Amino acid sequence: MFKCIFFFGGLFLIAIAFGANAKIIIKIGCSNFPPYFNVENGLCLRGKGIDKIRELNKKQKKYDFQLYVTAPARKTMDFQNRKFDMSLYSNINWGWDKSTVFASCIFGTDHEVFVARKDQVAGNNAYFDDIAAKRIVAINGYHYAFAQFNADREFLHKHFNIELTNTHEGNLMAVMLGRADMAIVTKSFLDDWRQEHPDLSPDLMEAKKYDQTYQFTAVVRKDGSLTKREIDQLLGCDSR
């Protein structure tokens, strides 16, 4: 009997030890947003965001940051349904319910820019000013400044001649082939694309004025375990 008590007592102590060392899982929404998150065949495979998550996990032992694959158009709905807890390389103005989330400090910047065929622009950057008259290709679910950050498909189709797709690469090719007048893309993605396609790069011209400048933060669930002070410190942008 004493052996039995000792055995189960030992198991209880082991369970307590494992429980004390168990990390709190924080799921981070991953939707296609190159070069930060690249989703291919339903998998979040690469990108600066993946590197950032590895860095967050190395910096501390309290949390286990994991990926949850979603899509730009359903990201906020998945968040509302508690399928993930945090969005990285995000901004609180991109469709989030501000009563349920908080934003970390700003840890990075990027831009969004219109591009068109060089022969269409013909050296006149004013070509990009008349958006209403242009056929635009953009990403479904993205929140664009030119559309007052409204990602609703009906709103966009009502106010713009716009086609919503899933890839920046496809949008650039649509412009190259004359199927669209302008594409709007992330500047760092465009810079990478130009390096990878030196033969095509000279045929595209970008607007001198950015449509928006990203101020990247983490957007975090208010009623979760992670605090603003913790995420600010982990991201390295805490001013204190």
| List of residues 6+ apart from 189 with CB closer than 8 A | 34, 35, 168
Count CB atoms within 10 A of the CB of residue 55.
13
126: helix, coil or strand? helix
DSSP class of 166: S
pLDDT value, residue 21: 67
pLDDT value, residue 153: 95
Count CB atoms within 10 A of the CB of residue 179.
13
Q: Across-strand partners of 113?
A: 185
Query: Could you read off the pLDDT tens digit of each residue along the chain, which spans 240 residues?
Result: 544 444 445 544 444 444 556 899 999 999 999 999 999 888 998 999 999 999 999 999 999 999 999 999 999 999 999 999 999 999 999 999 999 999 999 999 999 999 999 999 998 999 999 998 999 999 999 999 999 999 999 999 999 999 999 999 999 999 999 999 999 999 999 999 999 999 999 999 999 999 999 999 999 999 999 999 999 999 999 765
List of domains in the chain: 14-108+215-235 (3.40.190.10), 111-213 (3.40.190.10)
Asked whether 191 and 197 are in contact (CB, 8 A), the reply is: no
DSSP class of 167: -
DSSP class of 41: T
Q: Concatenated DSSP letters for 43-102?
A: EEEESHHHHHHHHHHHH-SSEEEEEEE--GGGHHHHHHTTS-SEEEEE-TTTT--TTTEE
pLDDT value, residue 45: 86
pLDDT value, residue 10: 52
pLDDT value, residue 15: 44
